[in-house]
A = this chain, B = another copy of it.
Amino acid sequence: MEKFEITILGCGSATPSPKHYTSSQVVNIREKLFMVDCGEGTQIQLRRSHVAFARINHIFISHLHGDHCFGLLGMISSFGLLGRTAPLFIHAPQDLWQVLGKELDFFCRDMEFNVEFQGFDPDVTSVVYDDRSVCVTAFPLKHRVPCAGFLFQEKNTQDHLDRAAADFYGVPMWDYARIKEGGDFITSSGEVIPHSRLTRPSAPQRSYAYCCDTAYNPGMIPFIHGCTAMYHDCTYSSEDSDRAEKHFHSTASDAARTALEAGAGKLILGHFSARYTNENALLDEAQKVFPNSILATENLSIAL
């Protein structure tokens, strides 16, 4: 199966600490690397995780709280010092450019690569990235400030050719690509061999929903329904649900309920408050509702 892997760089909330870096992760889909959020220290974690960071070309920022974007300037600056030449695309709520543009003008004037800023409105659902094999859609979460989730979807790959069937019907090699893409085959005697008899279906399309910094948000569930994995805000335990409500964050139970209702394959819990010395209580709480829950942790990679 082709790669679809999440690497957690930081999964703490509010302020970085010796225990957790603030939000950042890398989504690797068939060796295309996408970064989601970029808290302070993300570049340190990138080095530590051995992610091939020169291959990150797109960064998605969910919202404009510091724990999700204070690492951008330092990381961009370091990319410059390390000789990057490929353009870097930042997809973020439009207002970020007011500050980031100024910062880059001031500190990063002599870089050999361009930062291409692409603003989006986190209050509406919109496709923020699309190519042959991957589509990334931003959708609204429910937070104190406008805040987006991101759905990463791989596109259907070509079906696999059944080599024995192809040989049996005399399909010439030059016609393989067309058949894998969906074509039928007509033999020399005029018989139509349907595509389905010559191929095996490709692996199912996988998807990953990043839903960080949100209160329980049923509105998004139809949109992310059936995702292979979901990262969800799990800032608090249910005992602190008053705090969750006040700050527009979720409890472990909220996260698990969302995963259940969304029919997610797996739930990754993250964005932990620093108040819990042991996050296993959060995991227990989630697993009571949604058994296939795991705790995010720095440098953890999860293959979908």
Question: Main SS of the interface on chain A?
Answer: helix
Interface-lining segment among A73-81, A152-160, A164-172: A73-81
Interface-lining segment among A36-44, A249-257, A288-296: A36-44
> Of B16, B64, B77, which one neighbours A44 at CB under 8 angstroms?
B16
Residue of B with least CB distance to A42: B40
Contacts of A40 in B (CB 8 A): 40-41, 43-44, 71, 74
Number of interface residues of A (CB under 8 A): 29
Chain A 89-119 interface mask (CB, 8 Å, partner B; 1/0): 0000001001100110011000000000000
Does A82 interact with chain B (Cβ within 8 Å)?
yes
Does A194 interact with chain B (Cβ within 8 Å)?
no
| A107-B41 CB under 8 A given contacts A18-B48, A78-B15, A102-B102 | no
Q: Contact: B74 with A70, CB < 8 Å? A: yes
Contacts of A218 in B (CB 8 A): none
Contacts of A66 in B (CB 8 A): 73-74, 77, 107
> Of B17, B73, B98, B107, which one neighbours A106 at CB under 8 angstroms?
B98
Q: Contact: B14 with A81, CB < 8 Å? A: yes
Residue of B with least CB distance to A66: B77
Contacts of A99 in B (CB 8 A): 102-103, 106-107
Complex Cα distance A82/B18, Å?
Answer: 16
Q: Contact: A103 with B103, CB < 8 Å? A: yes
Can you offer 22 A-B residue contacts whose CB atoms are under 8 A?
A: A14-B78, A15-B43, A15-B74, A15-B77, A15-B81, A15-B82, A16-B41, A16-B43, A16-B74, A16-B78, A17-B44, A18-B47, A40-B41, A40-B44, A66-B73, A66-B107, A70-B77, A70-B107, A98-B102, A98-B106, A99-B103, A99-B106
